[in-house]
């Protein structure tokens, strides 16, 4: 249904005549769609009732002033096309409701009991294809929710309890393969949250506890299935060892985290297992001596960092071992630089 204000008409059926009632949205709070909206009811141009509806898109009545006449209701788009039809009884929606796209195709089918949705809500796209099925009880999602792709295959399946996601859930690729598989407890992720490639191979395992990452996150290479990344989490923050690997199984990087910040030894490796970088971190920033190496194992550079910035002397070597550059840094800024040839002589600029 369009977010523009709609003119809606009631057809009140009595035993002797038809009376016309107009319902018009007169204000909607700006911002997210969940904000409430206000509507007024008129008979022959005279206001007879006012509603304040909570969670725009639902029918939760926050406040009602006046009496809405009993009888069937029809809502219309500004274009004059039918938007919805349902029944009011004792100031409440009651019985079957149908909503329509502006092209006339069914948008939603549901049933109200005492102004609350009960049973299945079926939603369709503008082409009439099934889009979503939700089970409701006492106005809240209770049971299975299924969302569909236009091709009819499932896009998402979840279980709700009293309006909160609770139980196993899956999302799917358009080809039918599972995309993600997870479990919710009282609206929070719990246990392993598995992700997959569209071809079916596992992409990652994300551990959750009480809605937060907790345990070892593991990501995998697509073809071989070998471990690519391992990161330890504690209550939603990186805490403990973290490692990444080449597809040949060799260690690529090894670090440690405390409360989401890198600390201690930092090591990086070439795919042949040779050390590439050796450094130290403090509170998430590089701090202390740092060395870099060639793939051959020969020293490439040595320097010192302070609070994430290069500070002090830096020496860079040719792979053959001779000094190539001598540099001096101050608080991350290069203060002096000298270049040397392989013969050890200073190269004048």
- Express each pLDDT in 280-290 by its tens digit: 999 999 999 99
Listed in sequence order, the residues at least 6 apart from 41 whose beta carbon sits closer than 8 Å to its beta carbon are: 10, 21, 22, 23, 47, 48, 49, 50, 51, 66, 68
Alpha carbon 202 to chain centroid distance?
Answer: 20
Q: What is the pLDDT of residue 17?
A: 34
Strand partners, 105: none
Calpha distance 313→322 (Å, rounded): 16
pLDDT for the residue 30: 46
Record the tokens describing residue 258, joined without a space: 């405390």
Question: What's the mean pLDDT in 192-200?
Answer: 97
Q: How far apart are CA 101 and CA 82, in angstroms?
A: 8
Question: Confidence band (pLDDT; 50, 70, 90) for 43?
Answer: low
Q: Rounded CA gap, 145 and 160, in Å? A: 7
251: number of CA atoms within 13 Å, CB side? 14
Mean pLDDT across 68-88 = 81
Look up tokens 């071992």; give the residue. 321
- Say yes or no to pLDDT of 33 above 70: no
Give the model's pLDDT for residue 209: 98
Contact 39, 23 (CB under 8 A): yes
pLDDT at 3: 36
């Amino acid at each position: 249904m369009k977010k523009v204000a709609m003119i809606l008409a009631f057809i009140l059926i009595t035993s002797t005549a038809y009376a016309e009632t107009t319902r018009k949205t007169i204000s909607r709070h700006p911002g997210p769609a969940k904000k409430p909206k206000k509507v007024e009811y008129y008979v022959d141009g005279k206001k007879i009732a006012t509603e304040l509806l909570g969670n725009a898109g639902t029918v939760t009545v926050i406040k009602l002033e006046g009496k809405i006449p009993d009888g069937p209701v029809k809502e219309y788009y500004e274009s004059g096309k039918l938007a919805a039809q349902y029944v009011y009884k004792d100031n409440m929606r009651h019985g079957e409701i149908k909503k329509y796209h502006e092209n006339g195709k069914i948008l939603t089918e549901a049933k109200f009991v005492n102004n609350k949705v009960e049973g299945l809500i079926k939603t369709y796209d503008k082409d009439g294809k099934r889009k979503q099925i939700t089970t409701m009880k006492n106005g809240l999602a209770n049971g299975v929710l299924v969302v569909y792709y236009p091709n009819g295959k499932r896009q998402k399946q979840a279980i709700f309890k009293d309006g909160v996601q609770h139980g196993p859930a899956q999302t799917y690729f358009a080809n039918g393969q599972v995309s993600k598989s997870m479990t919710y407890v009282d609206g929070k992720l719990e246990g392993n949250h598995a992700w997959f490639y569209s071809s079916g191979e596992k992409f990652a395992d994300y551990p959750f506890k009480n809605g937060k990452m907790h345990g070892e996150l593991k990501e995998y290479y697509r073809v071989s299935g070998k471990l690519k990344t391992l990161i330890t989490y504690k209550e939603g923050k990186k805490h403990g060892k973290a490692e990444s690997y080449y597809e040949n199984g060799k260690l690529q990087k090894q670090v440690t985290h405390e409360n989401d910040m890198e600390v201690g030894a930092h090591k990086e490796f070439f795919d042949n297992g040779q050390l590439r970088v050796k450094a130290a971190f403090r509170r998430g920033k590089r701090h202390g001596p740092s060395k870099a190496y060639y793939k051959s194992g020969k020293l490439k550079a040595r320097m010192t960092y302070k609070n994430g910035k290069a500070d002090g002397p830096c020496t860079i070597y040719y792979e053959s071992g001779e000094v190539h550059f001598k540099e001096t840094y101050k608080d991350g800024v290069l203060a002096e630089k000298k270049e040397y040839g392989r013969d050890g002589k200073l190269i004048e600029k």
